[in-house]
Amino acid sequence: MNPLDAEALYRALLDRLRPVFAAGSAPGADAPVLAGIFSGGAWLAERLAADLSLAGFGVVNVALHRDDYAKKGLHTQAGPTALPFDVKNRSIVLVDDVLYTGRTVRAALNELYDYGRPASVELAVLADRGGRELPVAARYVGGEVDVPQDANLVLSRNDAGRFAFHIEVREH
Q: Specify if 1 maps to a domain.
A: no
The pLDDT assigned to 67 comes to 64
Q: Containing domain of residue 84, as a range? A: 6-22+31-169
Q: For residue 157, is it within any domain?
A: yes
pLDDT in tens, 50-81: 999 999 999 999 988 866 555 555 555 568 89
Assign 84 a pLDDT band (cuts: 50, 70, 90). Answer: very high
Q: Give CA 35 to chain center in angstroms.
A: 7
Q: What is the pLDDT of residue 9?
A: 98
Backbone phi, psi, residue 113, to 5°: -70, -20
How many separate domains does the chain show? 1
**pTM score, whole prediction:** 0.91
